[in-house]
Amino acid sequence: MFLMAENCLLREALVRVLRKKEDIRVVGAAAFSPGALETICAADPDVVLFDSASIALAGPCLVSQMRQAGSRRLEHRARTVMIGMDDDEATFLWAVREGVVGYVLKDASAAEIVRVLRAVANGEAVCPPRFSASLFQSAARDLALSYKPTHDMKFGLSRREQQLVGLIRFGFSNKEIGIRLSLAEQTVKNHVHRILRKVGATNRLDIVERCQSVGPLLQASA
């Protein structure tokens, strides 16, 4: 594994701990530098452990760039584990979308970090329990937005209205839909009223049931 951390004390302490584990081989450790991507690729690690401070210096695309470089230059793509220096849900969700498969917080013990590294090396994904609900909610929102109609809707719903039906189907409120689609809550409410009228429904549950009754409403995009 390769360790990239800005805090020298953290970096040296983790290296000492990890080198005592017979099943973990540390192939490199460094603070961020402009040549970090090339350094990691040259080390050819199975797992890369880095902290959020490194990302703050490297820029938000370091993880995805590393994964892309891995597909071109390494025999395999290194799995990534991130130490979140702040208890921040937004940072965690960003990391997951970038391709991070292991996430620990700065107050994690050395034993916990070792456990996560082993799990990730074995193909598992790990995150703090406090973020599990956020992960499921985010996945549900993304799934709803990735859906598209399989056939012409008999109700004549617009693309935006079909998108709203997908989100209503997952139980999101007008406010939550507005945040997800960057729409004012009143605009969402207006869309919902039009959907109710078009499908002849009396409430949100009725919208979903009527749309499903005409056949498979939506399918995942390829």
- Pairing type for strands 47-51 and 2-4 reads parallel
Closest C-alpha to 211, from 143, 145, 155, 164: 155
Sketch out the chain's domains with CATH numbers: 2-127 (3.40.50.2300), 136-220 (1.10.10.10)
- Cite the DSSP H helix spans in 20-85: 36-43, 52-58, 62-73
pLDDT at 222 over 90: no
The whole-number average pLDDT for the span 63-69 is 67
Residue 211 or residue 62, greater confidence:
211
Report which residue type is found at 209.
E
pLDDT tens figures, 187-210? 999 999 999 999 899 998 888 888
The whole-number average pLDDT for the span 38-48 is 88
